[in-house]
Amino acid sequence: MRVVVLPTSAEVGEAAAAEIAAVVTERPDAVLGLATGDSPLGAYAALGRRVERDGLDLSRARGFALDEYVGLDPSDPQSYNAVIDRTVTTPLRMRAGAVRVPAGAAADLDAAADAYERAIEESGVDIQILGIGANGHIGFNEPGSAFTTRTRVVALSERTRLDNARFFATPSDVPTHALTQGLATIMRARRIVLVALGERKAEAVRAAVEGRPSAACPASVLQDHPDALLVVDEAAASRIAVSSSAVNRFPRLLARR
């Protein structure tokens, strides 16, 4: 696991976009793993600028979303299906339907989870973008999730439901369950780029980078990934020891690619 600390969220977004753009440039039909939430929005916006300005072409790329709420119709504006359409598929000019999202409204959720896991296994993921929850979750793999987990139905923690209440009319409207890729599913991606912004994520980032890998901090599983990069702003990095050898503070990262 490598950690790159950049001064601002804008630079974090640019750096994460550069990682994705490099993969797509090398392999136009790349398979992207896509997180929702606020953290990757800067990266998606920066990628959109590369599409508009530099002619980056994602028309052959495909993707898999990390997760979806249970019980929201795909047409619900807060469903991750709709969020992916608004923030990824449309602005990045990907083909309609190029990004698959777990079927959170399916009658048989276990069958939907198995089908999703199989589809990811068959296609592989070239680069997976992640955010991190304040409690260390990745995807909706809450603390306590085994490192061997695959795509499945999970209950959301109260903390996660409160954190996500900002997107809903009232906190009780936040779904109680989600379909999520498991930690083992995420770990099969060839490359992983996790984005973390703000002081609210500092403790989770510290536990992910410096803690002993354990289900108490699901993101700590990434320590065992051969190509995982954490791109974080100063506030999110504020609890990592300055001496930590995995950490590169303010590199000339953008000049590198």
Site of interaction with ligand F6R (CB under 6 A): 35-39, 66-67, 131-133, 137-140
- 85, 117, 137, 234: the catalytic one is 137
Handedness of CA 44, 164, 2, 100 (dihedral sign): negative
Rounded to a whole number of angstroms, the minimum distance from the CB of residue 54 to ligand F6R is 26
Rounded to a whole number of angstroms, the minimum distance from the CB of residue 209 to ligand F6R is 16
- N-terminal to C-terminal alpha carbon distance within the chain: 19
Tokens linked to 58: 């994602």
Residue 250 near residue 5, CB atoms below 8 Å: yes
Residue number, 132 or 205, with CB nearest to ligand F6R = 132
Beta bridge partners, 248, equal 4
Active site residue 227: no
Residue number, 57 or 239, with CB nearest to ligand F6R = 239
Residue number, 126 or 256, with CB nearest to ligand F6R = 126
Residue number, 50 or 137, with CB nearest to ligand F6R = 137
The Cα–Cα gap between 249 and 233 comes to 10
Q: Which amino acid is at 172?
A: S
Q: Which amino acid is at 83?
A: V
DSSP character at residue 154: E
Tokens linked to 198: 């703000």
Active site residue 164: no
- The C-alpha angle with vertex 175 and arms to 174 and 176, in degrees rounded to 5, equals 115
Rg of the chain taking only CA atoms, in angstroms? 17
Rounded to a whole number of angstroms, the minimum distance from the CB of residue 140 to ligand F6R is 6
- 11, 142, 163, 233: the catalytic one is 142
Residue number, 14 or 64, with CB nearest to ligand F6R = 64
Active site residue 57: no
Task: Collect all residues with Cβ–Cβ distance below 8 Å to 44 and sequence separation of at least 6.
Answer: 17, 87, 88, 91, 92
The number of angstroms, rounded, from the C-alpha of 16 to the middle of its chain's C-alpha atoms is 11
Shortest-Cβ-distance residue relative to ligand F6R: 131
Rounded to a whole number of angstroms, the minimum distance from the CB of residue 83 to ligand F6R is 8
Rounded to a whole number of angstroms, the minimum distance from the CB of residue 223 to ligand F6R is 18
Residue appearing with tokens 């510290």: 206
Count of H-run helices and E-run strands, the chain = 8, 11
Residue number, 57 or 167, with CB nearest to ligand F6R = 167
Rounded to a whole number of angstroms, the minimum distance from the CB of residue 10 to ligand F6R is 16
- 135, 225, 233, 234: the catalytic one is 135
- 11, 14, 67, 163: the catalytic one is 67
Q: Which residues are catalytic?
A: 67, 135, 137, 142
